[in-house]
């Protein structure tokens, strides 16, 4: 196992802002951060601003706008991240739970924060089988709607949402998680059943109509893995062949401490790059907790035994393993200039979805900042890896 390098140098004064992805927004962010930092004290003054450690990739995080009520968290987000993704607030059930009734307030709040701090926003997500109201693609009996009605519903949703955020969102995860894990190609979803396989192409077309300047992404998990990547490549190539705008393939990057192997991840990344696609790592975290037994809400105390071993914090050796894993993953990313964004799925360990998945109520430690917003060894490893690649 490679040694974790000792992190020694972190130039605080340098404001790197030349990222092609972030462009002028990052420069504005550097300026806006100064203003923000003066009103709220920096919760982690020993940590250099993460996103400024590199001009190679845009560094982002997912968050909920209500988290910004906490001034320390708001200062943390303004300091470290150049790109923000709302974790839940732009999903179909958050924006149009009831047909024709749009609820943009929470998402608007995140956009306003990002604008005030010179950050880009990624829209997540226009079409997904989860966190979406049933009326979009199903009738009252749960049967698929006729294709033309389902297409109208999807068009109206995408036009309204991408139209509302036109000029405010850098790019959209147009369709999320469309690839089947077990089946031959696409996941069996309400959209697929009502519209057919071309629902993905239609969604990209509608998104482009609504916001011609927005970047458009296809986003999914495990599509770097051997069992799934050829199906994902087929989909993005079909989109491109159909003349759709597609700016990047979003690999979510929900990884474990021990798996998948770096070789498998890199082979997956290269498959998309070699086919001419840019790649974003869109939901990164590294789960150090054991994954065995059944997950979900009904898990019993017995089943949970041994599954929540780090309630008092990560032991030093696991902390080091996490740091090494993060360093190796970022070294991998930096070998490929076509990887232009890395977004963490959460701002700190306390706000990670992995405290609830696959077992509810565990104490997880998958990100670069701990529950007190303090940088972990993994943070310093990532900063040093980014700086070394400048």
The residues assigned a catalytic role are: 177, 283
Give the pairing type, strands 254-256 and 248-251. Answer: unpaired
Element (H, E) at 31: helix 24-39
Question: Residues 229-258: x/- map of binding to ligand 9MR (CB under 6 A)?
Answer: -----------------------x------
Regarding 88 and contact with ligand 9MR (CB under 6 A), the answer is yes
Of residues 23 and 295, the one with the C-beta less far from ligand 9MR = 295
Query: What residue has token string 């190796």?
Result: 328
Of residues 59 and 354, the one with the C-beta less far from ligand 9MR = 354
Of residues 32 and 62, the one with the C-beta less far from ligand 9MR = 62
For 99, the 3-state DSSP assignment is coil
Of residues 196 and 260, the one with the C-beta less far from ligand 9MR = 260
Of residues 36 and 87, the one with the C-beta less far from ligand 9MR = 87
Question: Residues 12-51: x/- map of binding to ligand 9MR (CB under 6 A)?
Answer: ----------------------------------------
CA–CA separation, 135 and 137 (whole Å): 6
Of residues 94 and 242, the one with the C-beta less far from ligand 9MR = 94
First to last CA, the chain: 25
CA–CA separation, 44 and 42 (whole Å): 6
Query: What residue has token string 């599509």?
Result: 223
**Interacting residues with ligand 9MR between 168 and 227 (CB under 6 A):** 176
Q: Minimum distance between the CB of residue 2 and ligand 9MR, rounded to whole angstroms? A: 29
Q: Minimum distance between the CB of residue 30 and ligand 9MR, rounded to whole angstroms? A: 28
Q: How many residues does the chain have?
A: 390
Element (H, E) at 27: helix 24-39
Among 112, 131, 188, 335, binds ligand 9MR (CB under 6 A): 131
Of 254, 281, 282, which is closest to residue 269 (Cα–Cα)?
A: 281
Cis peptide before 274 (omega within 30 of 0): no
CA–CA separation, 297 and 212 (whole Å): 42
DSSP-H helix ranges across 217-375: 226-241, 262-274, 301-304, 316-334
Among 87, 171, 250, 350, binds ligand 9MR (CB under 6 A): 87
Query: What residue has token string 């004064």?
Result: 13
Residues contacting residue 168 through CB under 8 Å, at least 6 positions apart: 111, 115, 121
Q: Minimum distance between the CB of residue 36 and ligand 9MR, rounded to whole angstroms? A: 25
Q: Minimum distance between the CB of residue 282 and ligand 9MR, rounded to whole angstroms? A: 8
Q: Which two tokens stand for residue 316?
A: 């030093």
Regarding 358 and contact with ligand 9MR (CB under 6 A), the answer is no
CA–CA separation, 171 and 162 (whole Å): 10
* Binding residues with ligand 9MR: total (CB under 6 A): 8
List phi, psi (to 5°) of 275.
Answer: -85, 0
Regarding 93 and contact with ligand 9MR (CB under 6 A), the answer is no
Among 41, 66, 99, 130, binds ligand 9MR (CB under 6 A): 130
Among 215, 283, 349, 370, binds ligand 9MR (CB under 6 A): 283
CA dihedral 362, 363, 368, 370 (to 10 degrees): 150
**Interacting residues with ligand 9MR between 296 and 355 (CB under 6 A):** 353
Of residues 84 and 334, the one with the C-beta less far from ligand 9MR = 84
Q: Which two tokens stand for residue 346?
A: 């959460």
For 89, the 3-state DSSP assignment is coil
Q: Which two tokens stand for residue 304?
A: 């949970």
Q: Minimum distance between the CB of residue 28 and ligand 9MR, rounded to whole angstroms? A: 27
CA–CA separation, 312 and 359 (whole Å): 18
Q: Where on the chain is the footprint of ligand 9MR (CB under 6 A)? A: 87-88, 130-131, 176, 252, 283, 353
């Amino acid at each position: 196992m490679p040694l974790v390098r000792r992190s020694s140098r972190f130039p605080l004064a340098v404001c790197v802002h030349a990222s092609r992805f972030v462009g002028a927004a990052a420069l504005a962010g550097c300026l806006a951060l100064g203003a923000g930092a003066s009103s709220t004290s920096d919760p982690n003054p020993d940590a250099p601003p993460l996103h400024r450690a590199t001009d190679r990739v845009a560094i982002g995080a997912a968050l909920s706008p209500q988290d910004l009520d906490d001034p320390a968290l708001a200062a943390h987000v303004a300091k470290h991240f150049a790109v923000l993704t709302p974790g839940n607030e732009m999903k179909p059930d958050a924006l149009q739970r009831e047909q024709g009734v749009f609820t943009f307030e929470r998402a608007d709040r995140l956009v306003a924060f990002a604008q005030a701090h010179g950050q880009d926003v990624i829209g997540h997500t226009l079409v997904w089988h989860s966190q979406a109201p049933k009326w979009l693609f199903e009738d009252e009996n749960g049967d698929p709607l006729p294709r033309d009605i389902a297409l109208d519903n999807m068009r109206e949703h995408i036009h309204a949402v991408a139209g509302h955020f036109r000029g405010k969102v850098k790019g959209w995860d147009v369709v999320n998680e469309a690839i089947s894990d077990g089946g031959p190609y696409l996941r069996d979803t309400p959209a697929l059943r009502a519209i057919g396989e071309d629902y993905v192409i239609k969604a990209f077309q509608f998104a482009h109509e609504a916001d011609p300047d927005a970047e458009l992404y296809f986003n999914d998990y495990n599509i770097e893995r051997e069992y799934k990547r050829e199906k994902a490549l087929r989909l993005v190539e079909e989109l491109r062949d159909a003349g759709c705008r597609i700016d990047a393939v979003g690999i979510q990057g929900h990884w474990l401490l021990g798996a998948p192997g770096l070789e498998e991840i890199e082979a997956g990344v290269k498959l998309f790059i070699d086919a001419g696609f840019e790649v974003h790592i869109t939901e990164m975290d590294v789960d150090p907790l054991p994954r065995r037994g059944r997950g979900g809400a009904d898990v019993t105390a017995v089943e949970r035994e041994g599954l929540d071993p780090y309630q008092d914090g990560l032991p030093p050796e696991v902390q080091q393993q996490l740091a090494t894993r993060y360093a190796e993953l970022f070294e991998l990313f930096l070998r490929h200039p076509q990887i232009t964004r890395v977004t963490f799925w959460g701002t700190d360990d306390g706000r990670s979805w992995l405290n609830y998945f696959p077992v509810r109520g565990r104490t997880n430690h998958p990100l670069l900042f701990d529950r007190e917003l303090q940088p972990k060894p993994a943070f310093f490893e990532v900063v040093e890896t980014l700086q070394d690649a400048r």
